[in-house]
Structure 1
Amino acid sequence: MTTHNRRRTIAGALMSAGLAVAGLGLSVGTAEAGTPPGGPFSWCPGDPPVETGNKRVNPVRWDEGICHEYWFVYHEQGNVAQNIWDGPNPPGPPPSMGFAPPPPLPPGWCWAMFLPGPCPPGVVGPRLG
């Protein structure tokens, strides 16, 4: 195997590893997020019950004689069910639900086309600090 082919093989393996790590990071954030907030929705007497994910354990408790404007919110943020907010101004996402930047690159690595990889000759990696 020539030196050029070895370099291409190593570069391909590093790119695959970088994609795998990036994919794991994205899947963890997605799984943690759960049902995203949304609304406003409306419910009036005679409408079917609001879906909370489990109406037996997490029922909506509000006055069933009037119409309501409600929002889906993150778990444990609701005021009429664990994930349902009745009224205007629902709470924002919890602090842990925001964008998390990727971890820092090891020394000698650079970002290239959104993928981490070894820096080209003569280029110094990202500065730390």
Structure 2
Amino acid sequence: MRKLFVGLAATVLLTGNVSGVGPAQAQPGPLPLRSWPGCPEDHPEGPCRWCPGDPPVQTGNIAVYPVVWDESICHTYYYVHSGQGNVAHNIWDGENPPPPPPWPPGLDFCPIPPWCP
């Protein structure tokens, strides 16, 4: 009888802990639409705006690829492909960012024709 009680108590405790993990981690409300601070919601790669006092521009790794620009003025910037930036590896400061690099040869085909543009 004692083993049954101990087993039942352990099961109730474990089940209670496991079932409580999910709801405790849930975030109320919808997910934020703006994943890039300073960027338009419908076009997150830019043009974006940063001014003194705003949070740092995210480059994917601020420690290795920090944004290097004049922090006393506002900037209009774009997120570009890695290696195409002029103030960080993926950040273009100013107007007219470079176009995306061309596709590698042989990768410009459509694997499923009805769904390709």
TM-score (norm 2): 0.53
Could you say what secondary structure the match of 1:42 adopts?
strand
Q: Give the letter for the 2:109 counterpart.
A: P
User: Is the strand fraction higher in 1 or 2?
Assistant: 1
Percentage of identical aligned residues = 60
Q: Give the letter for the 1:100 counterpart.
A: D
* 1:96 positional shift: 2.0
Structure 1 stretches of at least 4 aligned residues deviating more than 6 Å after TM superposition: none
Structure 1: segments with no counterpart, 5+ residues: 1-36, 104-110, 115-129
> Paired residue for 1:76?
83
Asked whether 1:66 is paired with 2:73, we answer yes
Asked whether 1:101 is paired with 2:112, we answer no
What is the aligned counterpart of 1:44 among 43, 51, 64? 51
Change (3 A) 1:75 1:90: same
> Paired residue for 2:24?
none
Matches within 5 A, 1:19-38: 38=45
Q: Give the letter for the 1:64 counterpart.
A: E
Deviations 1:15-50 (A, max 9, x none): xxxxxxxxxxxxxxxxxxxxxx82000000000100
| RMSD of Structure 2 on Structure 1 (CA) | 2.7
Q: Which has the higher contact order (CA 8 A, sep 6+)?
A: 1
Structure 2: segments with no counterpart, 5+ residues: 1-43
Change (3 A) 1:91 1:100: same
